[in-house]
């Protein structure tokens, strides 16, 4: 692998910000708590971790030692789970924020892909996620039963299963 140039590093950061912001824009437009800035920063942060891992790997390999840049990426996957988990709320048998949490998780993956230089995969992931968040969101809203039942089994905090209300 060739050494990353400073221009390539800046390019990857900008692309991650653009892809993250594109996903965040949809959330912002839907008036969700995590929006444009959150998603852009998650993608940028993940890209920075991957870029840092690649650059560190280049230094370590120059000494002749083996290095696996995926190790830092795997910790990003775990760490982003905590951030996304904070977006999930449960109150009175109703769960909110699952889509936001999933979107944050996917945005981190997009950032990791951009950071690694896999722009086509990152673009495809961004496009697919945008479709899920916008088009499928419309579909879900359009065909929701009149009583608002969404069918998710959740606990009521006392060990009893209830149906959440959308």
Tokens linked to 58:
């280049």
pTM: 0.75
Phi–psi pair at 156, nearest 5 degrees:
-100, 10
pLDDT at 137 over 90: no
The strand pairing partners of 162, in sequence order, are: 154
For residue 10, tell me if it sits in a domain: yes
For the stretch 19-49, pLDDT in tens is 999 999 988 888 887 888 989 999 999 999 9
For residue 1, tell me if it sits in a domain: no
For residue 78, tell me if it sits in a domain: yes
For residue 32, tell me if it sits in a domain: yes
Cβ 111 vs Cβ 117: under 8 Å: no
For the stretch 52-71, pLDDT in tens is 999 988 888 889 898 888 88
For residue 156, tell me if it sits in a domain: yes
- Residue 162 has a pLDDT of 46
**Domain tally for the chain?**
1
Tokens linked to 124:
């495809």
The strand pairing partners of 96, in sequence order, are: 89
For residue 18, tell me if it sits in a domain: yes
For residue 103, tell me if it sits in a domain: yes
For the stretch 70-107, pLDDT in tens is 888 888 888 888 888 887 887 777 778 888 888 899 99
Q: Which domain holds residue 101?
A: 6-165
For residue 67, tell me if it sits in a domain: yes
In terms of DSSP bridges, do strands 149-155 and 89-91 run parallel, antiparallel, or are they unpaired? unpaired
d(CA 15, CA 89): 31
């Amino acid at each position: 692998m060739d050494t990353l140039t400073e221009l390539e590093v800046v390019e990857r950061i900008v692309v991650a910000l653009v892809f993250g912001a594109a996903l965040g824009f949809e959330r912002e437009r839907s008036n969700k708590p995590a929006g444009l800035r959150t998603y852009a920063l998650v993608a940028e942060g993940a890209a920075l971790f991957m870029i840092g891992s690649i650059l560190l790997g280049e230094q370590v390999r120059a000494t002749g030692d083996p290095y696996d840049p995926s190790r830092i990426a795997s910790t990003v996957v775990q760490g982003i789970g905590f951030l996304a988990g904070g977006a999930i709320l449960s109150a009175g048998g109703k769960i909110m924020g699952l889509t936001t949490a999933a979107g944050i998780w996917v945005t981190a993956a997009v950032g990791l892909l951009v950071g690694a230089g896999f722009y086509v995969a990152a673009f495809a992931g961004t496009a697919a996620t945008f479709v899920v968040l916008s088009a499928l969101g419309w579909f879900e809203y359009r065909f929701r039963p009149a009583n608002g039942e969404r069918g998710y089994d959740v606990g009521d905090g006392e060990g009893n299963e209830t149906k959440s209300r959308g």
